[in-house]
């Protein structure tokens, strides 16, 4: 892995990390965003497989779409923008009124991270110190997001510690498109259930089998047909297995294939139903994290983090072409 610092836009910096031949990614301190991922197609031609911009101003202007950003403190929604922990009520920013989405206005994606380490082993490791009470969340949290290559796998890992009980669930919000129309790209997700959601997209607590419904991605259907049948996916898939290759995206047009492995229990699939300045449904987000709204569902896997504990998450996006 070779890390090169370069200019990004007029006066910001980016870190480009070269992997195997034809593979590189670029990240920036603002929101610890992943701004570019270059991978070869079947003819060896590299191109970016994520939607993104060339300057920080554009990321700020479209911050409500979270292009490539690091999400925290809490991925997806917390219903009513509030939760109770140890008998105390915490009120969060209702940035998707009346709910909290992706940590609120002052979430990790809107913060400028410091560069804790770069190098051939580490890749790029960002650190953010979130003060107690930020966005309404308790506890001062120290968070790290690390981007590196493992062979042709782009590894995104998150870590966090706290000085008081809190909740945490981090993820990356890249919009993937392996080249050519998204409609012809096939998405496989090894999940037999999705979380049931109410009209505000808040989990009811139940899960629903995907069965023969159009949300069933187990056989890897082309996304065009799925989007046509569903109007667009924005669902939380409950993964059948943990810590294995749970999803893949294939582009028949370019021969690129991406396989996803995560140690997280859920994968939100979002077919860019609103892609800001980009065409609707021109990419797909595959966001691995804990269960949405977990702080309000005692039966969901816990999202609590307490002093002395360390939150970790690891997701790998491995590329092949052929
Ligand atoms: C959510 C969508 C939301 C989008 C914002 C996704 O993670 O699932 O509901 O609109 O983020 O970019």
Tens of pLDDT along the chain (322 residues) come to: 899 999 999 999 999 999 999 999 999 999 999 999 999 999 999 999 999 999 999 999 999 999 999 999 999 999 999 999 999 999 999 999 999 999 999 999 999 999 999 999 999 999 999 999 999 999 999 999 999 999 999 999 999 999 999 999 999 999 999 999 999 999 999 999 999 999 999 999 999 999 979 999 999 999 999 999 999 999 999 999 988 999 999 999 999 999 999 999 999 999 999 999 999 999 999 999 999 999 999 999 999 999 999 999 999 999 999 8
Q: Tell me if 66 CB under 6 Å of ligand 1.
A: yes
- What's the gap in Å between 8 CA and the centre of ligand 1? 26
Measured CA to CA in angstroms, residue 43 lies from 26, 39, 253, 321 at distances of 23, 11, 11, 9
pLDDT at 212: 77
- What's the gap in Å between 270 CA and the centre of ligand 1? 7
pLDDT at 292: 98
Assign 266 to helix, strand or coil.
Answer: strand
- What's the gap in Å between 3 CA and the centre of ligand 1? 31
Contact predicate 232/273, CB 8 Å: yes
Give the whole-angstrom CA distance, residue 308 versus residue 169: 17
Residue nearest to atom 7 of ligand 1 (CA): 76
Residue nearest to atom 5 of ligand 1 (CA): 65
Residues 71, 261, 266, 176, CA torsion sign = positive
Contact predicate 90/164, CB 8 Å: no
pLDDT at 54: 97
Q: Which of 67, 174, 269, 285 to mutate to test the pocket of ligand 1 (most atoms within 8 A of CB)?
A: 285
């Amino acid at each position: 892995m070779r890390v090169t610092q370069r200019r990004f836009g007029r006066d910001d910096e980016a870190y480009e990390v070269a992997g195997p031949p034809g593979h590189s990614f670029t990240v920036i301190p603002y929101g610890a965003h992943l701004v570019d991922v270059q991978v070869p197609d079947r003819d060896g031609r590299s191109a970016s497989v994520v939607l993104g911009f060339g300057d920080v101003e554009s990321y700020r202007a479209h911050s409500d779409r979270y292009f490539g950003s690091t999400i925290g403190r809490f991925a997806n929604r917390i219903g009513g923008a509030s939760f109770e922990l140890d008998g105390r009520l915490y009120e969060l920013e209702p940035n998707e009124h009346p709910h909290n989405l992706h940590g609120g206005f002052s979430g990790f994606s809107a913060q400028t991270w410091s560069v804790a380490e770069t190098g051939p082993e580490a890749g790029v490791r960002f650190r953010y110190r979130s003060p107690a009470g930020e966005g309404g969340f308790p506890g001062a949290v120290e968070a790290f997001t690390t981007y590196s290559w493992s062979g042709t796998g782009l590894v995104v890992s998150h870590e966090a510690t706290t000085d008081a009980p809190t909740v945490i669930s981090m993820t990356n919000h890249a919009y993937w498109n392996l080249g050519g129309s998204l409609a012809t790209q096939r998405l496989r997700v090894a999940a037999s259930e999705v979380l049931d959601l109410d009209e505000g997209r808040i989990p009811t607590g139940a899960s629903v089998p995907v069965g023969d419904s159009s949300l069933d991605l187990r056989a890897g259907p082309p996304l065009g047909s799925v989007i046509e049948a569903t109007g667009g996916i924005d669902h939380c898939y409950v993964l059948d297995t943990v810590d294995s290759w749970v999803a893949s995206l294939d582009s028949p047009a370019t021969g690129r294939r991406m396989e996803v492995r995560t140690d997280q229990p859920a994968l939100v699939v979002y077919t860019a139903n609103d892609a800001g300045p980009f065409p609707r449904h021109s990419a797909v987000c595959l966001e691995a994290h804990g269960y949405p709204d977990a702080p309000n569902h005692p039966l969901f896997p816990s999202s609590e983090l307490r002093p002395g504990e360390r939150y970790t998450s690891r997701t790998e996006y491995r590329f092949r072409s052929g």
